[in-house]
Amino acid sequence: MNGISNDVINRTEPLEVAERLERLPISRIHRRLLVIHGLGWLFDAMDVGIITFVLAALARDWHLRSNEIGSIASSGLAGMFVGALLAGIIADRFGRKAVFQITLLIFSLTTLLCALAWSVNSMMLFRFLVGIGLGGELPVACSLLCEFIPTRHRGKYLVLLESFWAVGWLLAALATVLLIPRYGVKIGLVAGAIPAPCMWVLRRQLPESPRWYAAKGRLQEAQDVVASLEKEVRHAELASRDSVSVSSDDTNQPAFRGIWSRQYIRATAVLWLLWFGLTFAYYGIFVWLPTLLVKSGFSLVNSFGYVLIITLAQLPGYFSAAQLIEPLGRKRVISIYLTAAAVSGMFFGHASTNSQILLWACSLSFFTLGAWGAVYAYTPELYPTHVRTTAAGSAAAFGRIGGIIAPYCVGILLPQLHREGVLDLNAGMLFVSAMIVALFGVETRGRLPGEKWRGDQVALAASHTPQS
């Protein structure tokens, strides 16, 4: 038919949906989506942060050994492995919004159960269930926001989404400083679950991803969502049609097999190793941070105060990464921040005075969380719509293996290696991760959803440039 294949004809309408999304200027609807997704991120971080502080208090109240503390921390991460893997696959098949809501429900109910825990084993079980909800939510939320934000703004918005994590940790630190010394451990756990009903109501207002609708052939629903977005920005000038180029998704392969196809195997291998190394180091350090400070001679209350200060350093880390990720690119920001985090971790481990400990711990927090923000922006950009949450979820799941191992390993090694050896180990993981990304990573800056790459040279899979 005039040299045009049926495949190209069948993809015209999905391409039109993507084109219209790319033409939208950043407006109130995008900022509202960021805030709603970010609040979910915030309350998830509150839960992880609170359990981090709770572990130090439980160690005192329940007379726990180091390996028991590590087992409780690792059980939550084991749940996150299961949640990330299953939720990603389910969200690619049945939609992002439903999974987004279900994972919140699992997370909130099981967080309340943690307040009823009566032993190490019961706490491990409940933390595993919490992890399923939390691990399932994060990659789905990231992918869902990615599919609404135009390419030219996507990196910055995804890093800003991750910055809500730091705010959640700050609230967790404040809650534990104010509540746990006065009311005990259980009230801290309850505080982490209280905001969930509000989030359930807010999320009901979210639309389903129009890119997902289009990839599933549900074109009318996709166009309805895009039309509602266009209506909200009708008073703003749309981006020039001449500047928009989109490409279609190759939907021939099953999702999990697709991310290991010849086209994506390099990106997937690098991403999985990156997630493993960063997650290992993050949970190997930050889950143990109050305990490490106590081991350094600080009282439990003072360690909470120090962690609050250290957590504050995360916010400028995120914001600086958000500003640099577009001009410098994803690979460079991730590599620089991970290397700086590794150096900071090494100096933190060997610091001998209060001021040195605070300085290098803040530097570690700044660069590690800045790197996390860039990784969350990088992950969904590597893949087209029909495999995006499967890819993000499986990378996060593999990373959780590192997170499962790390707290338990630290619990075993801490009596032998002490603070210095534990932090050197985690600094080494950060440095190796930086080198993997720098040497083998694929740059995604400016790439459109569905684009293919060969090495570092990006080419459109099936471009469609609208005519003015």
- Segments in 260-313 forming alpha helices (H): 265-286, 289-295, 300-312
Where do the H-state alpha helices sit in 95-150?
Answer: 96-114, 120-146
**What whole-number distance in Å separates Cα of residue 125 and Cα of residue 69?**
14
Residue of 188, 397, 429 lying closest to 285 (CA atoms) = 429
Q: Are 376 and 385 a contacting pair, CB within 8 Å?
A: no
Q: Name residue 459's beta-bridge partners.
A: 452
Say whether pLDDT at 419 is over 50. yes
Element (H, E) at 44: helix 28-61
Instruction: For 71-109, give the DSSP string.
Output: HHHHHHHHHHHHHHHHHHHHHHHH-HHHHHHHHHHHHHH
Determine the Cα–Cα distance for residues 191 and 211; give it in Å rounded to an integer: 36
- Give residue 170's pLDDT band: very low, low, confident or very high (50, 70, 90): confident
Q: What is the mean pLDDT of the chain?
A: 79
Cβ atoms within 10 A of the Cβ of 224, count?
Answer: 13
Percent of the chain at pLDDT above 90?
16
Which residue would you say has higher pLDDT here, 348 or 193?
348
Over residues 225-243, the mean pLDDT reads 66
Summary count for the chain: helices (H), strands (E) = 19, 4
Return the pLDDT at 447.
62
Give the pLDDT of residue 273: 96
- Across 45-73, average pLDDT: 77
Model confidence at 4, pLDDT cuts 50, 70, 90, reads very low
Q: Kindly tell me if the per-residue pLDDT of 105 is higher than 50.
A: yes
pLDDT tens per residue across span 145-158: 888 888 878 888 88
Instruction: Find the mean pLDDT for residues 280-293.
Output: 80
Superfamily in which the 22-236+246-464 domain is placed by CATH: MFS general substrate transporter like domains (1.20.1250.20)
CB 395 within 8 A of CB 369: no
Task: Give the least confident one: 19-33, 88-102, 165-179.
Answer: 165-179
**Dihedrals φ, ψ of 463, to 5°?**
-70, 155
Output the six-digit token pair for 266.
């390099």
On whether the pTM is more than 0.75, the answer is no
What sign does the dihedral 61-62-64-68 (CA atoms) show?
negative
| Mean pLDDT to the nearest integer, 15-32 | 82
Amino acid residing at 67: N
**pLDDT at 241 exceeding the cut of 70:** no
pLDDT at 271 over 90: yes
Give residue-wise pLDDT tens across range 336-347: 999 999 999 999
DSSP-derived secondary structure letter, 261: S
Read off the pLDDT band of 2 (50, 70, 90): very low
Q: Residue ranges of the domains in the chain? A: 22-236+246-464
pLDDT at 363: 96
Q: Could you say which DSSP state residue 457 is in?
A: E
The more confidently predicted of residues 436 and 20 is 436
- The least confident of 58-72, 126-140, 259-273, 319-333 is 58-72
